[in-house]
Amino acid sequence: MYRRFGSEVTIVEMGPCLMDVKTKMFPKPCAKSWRLRGYGFGPNAKCISLAKRDSRIAVGIKCDDGPPEVLGTHVLLAVGRTPNTNDLGLDRAGVATDQRGYIIVDAHLQTNVPGIWALGDCNGRGAFTHTSYNDYEIVADNLFNAGHRSVSDRIQTYALFTDPPLGRCGMTDAEIRKSGRAAVATKHPMSQVTRAVEKGETHGFIKISVDAETKHILGAAILGTGAMK
């Protein structure tokens, strides 16, 4: 956002990439996209330090003393989230939470107190917009349509509201390898997607992995415009 406003922005990150850190699927393409958009990018910053330099702030990004460090006027620190459950009076209702404050739920998202469900980020089962919405779908279906839906049946999806956005579902490359299945994958650059060309946003690609025998889609990822639709 600040880059779009015209500020110089450097993203300093402990991992190889901000996107999909768990699966490490997209370190190179996303770093490239961000550099092309004019962000500085300091990946693998294992020893982040802050120091005052006159009116500016120096952010050290390597364990060794001295450079490389990034000089800036402001630091925005984003290091995780905690559930905002401590002021809900859950203890008075007898609703159990774990050590981090997440409300403990079963696979149907019911708490330990009959008649109380916990949906969304507060139950620690998702932490995404779409998983929060899917929590609602599960509970509403079970309550009002006599459904038997469960959060453990949820197909894994991943949506990141970045620029370019990333949408992913199904198995990752690592999961496919671990499963021992024979699979084939195809990768299609966004520069060959007409809508991306029309919009002038041709960064990224579409990748789809298919079971070589059954031809079933095992996993898909879109890094690029429209990936969140």
CB 168 within 8 A of CB 219: yes
CA-only gyration radius of the chain, Å? 22
39 binds ligand FAD (CB under 6 A): no
44 binds ligand FAD (CB under 6 A): no
Residue with CB nearest ligand FAD? 120
CB of 226 to ligand FAD, least distance (A): 15
The closest alpha carbon to 173, from 183, 164, 165, belongs to 183
Residue type, 225: T
Counting Cα atoms < 13 Å in the Cβ hemisphere of 138 gives: 23
Binding-site string for ligand FAD from residue 52 to residue 91, where x marks contact by CB under 6 A and - marks none: -----------------------------x--x--xx---
Residue with Cβ nearer ligand FAD (84 or 191): 84
Q: How far is CA 109 from the centre of its chain?
A: 22
**Residues contacting residue 86 through CB under 8 Å, at least 6 positions apart:** 101
Residue with Cβ nearer ligand FAD (69 or 121): 121
127 binds ligand FAD (CB under 6 A): yes
Q: Pick from 82, 86, 129, 156: which binds ligand FAD (CB under 6 A)?
A: 129
CB of 165 to ligand FAD, least distance (A): 8
How open is the CA angle 187-193-195, to the nearest 5 degrees? 150
CB of 66 to ligand FAD, least distance (A): 32
| Cα 23 to Cα 25: distance, rounded to the nearest angstrom | 5
Q: Pick from 132, 147, 173, 202: which binds ligand FAD (CB under 6 A)?
A: 132
Q: Where are the beta strands (DSSP E) in 88-212?
A: 157-160, 166-170, 183-189, 205-211
CB of 162 to ligand FAD, least distance (A): 7
Q: Pick from 160, 196, 206, 227: which binds ligand FAD (CB under 6 A)?
A: 160
| Cα 119 to Cα 109: distance, rounded to the nearest angstrom | 7
159 binds ligand FAD (CB under 6 A): yes
128 binds ligand FAD (CB under 6 A): yes
161 binds ligand FAD (CB under 6 A): yes
CB 198 within 8 A of CB 167: no
- Binding-residue total with ligand FAD (CB under 6 A): 14
How open is the CA angle 127-132-135, to the nearest 5 degrees? 125
Binding positions for ligand FAD, rule: CB under 6 A = 81, 84, 87-88, 120-121, 127-130, 132, 159-161
